[in-house]
Amino acid sequence: MGRTPGATAAGTRERLLRAAADVFARRGYEGTRVSDLAEAAGLSNGALYAHFGSRATLLADALRVHGRRLLADLAAADPDRSVADLLRASGRTLRRRRDADGELLVEALVAARRDDDVVPLVRAHVHERAAWLADLVRRGQRDGEIDAALSPHAVAHLCLSLAVGTALVGPDIDPVDDAEWTALVARLVAGLAPVRTTDALGSRS
């Protein structure tokens, strides 16, 4: 298998990234060979190496390009939606989702613990996600929805930890009642709100 007649470099790269996202999620990083990725994309090993220098690079790029960002999708669909509502909406779906993005991220994090070549690539991807979330938190702080005393990075880290944790312990392993989970998410988000103080006359500010 070689280059498909009429295929562009961008199109071939996209095919490889789609195939990588699927294969890595199903087989894991350690269980996937370069030949598996090339075969899934309908290409030769040489074609893969012509676009990506290593299997680790392909994993990182698959995460970056095909990683589904639920919060980003929600924010783009409704730019005027409050940050608190965005967090509640995305949090509610965590326990119900079994998507390639979550599984791919878990596989990448596991690979980073075992392969030094993967560490800087996965770190860069996680930092990108965390930075986007931290910016969202800052927006919530400017709008008075999130306590300005909280660290945006710490809140972003909590969100990422919940996403990874629920991808690992999904509904097929430990199902939780939707209503109970939704109530818990609402309580967590409410806990991010500014602390209301009560003055001597009993009014709240």
Arch. (CATH architecture) of 68-190 = Orthogonal Bundle (1.10)
User: Pick from 95, 99, 92: which is nearest to 69 by CA?
Assistant: 99
pTM beyond 0.85, yes or no: no
| CATH of region 9-65 | 1.10.10.60
CB 25, CB 99: distance < 8 Å: no
Q: Which two tokens stand for residue 128?
A: 């990108």
CB atoms within 10 A of CB 164: 15
The helix/strand/coil state of 147 is coil
Domain with CATH 1.10.10.60 in the chain: 9-65
Domain with CATH 1.10.357.10 in the chain: 68-190
- By CB atoms closer than 10 A (0-12, 13-18, 19+), residue 136 is buried
Q: Which two tokens stand for residue 12?
A: 């071939």
Write the pLDDT tens digit of every residue in 52-93.
888 888 888 888 776 656 667 777 888 889 999 999 998 988
Write the pLDDT tens digit of every residue in 41-57.
888 888 888 888 888 88
CA distance 151 to 147: 9
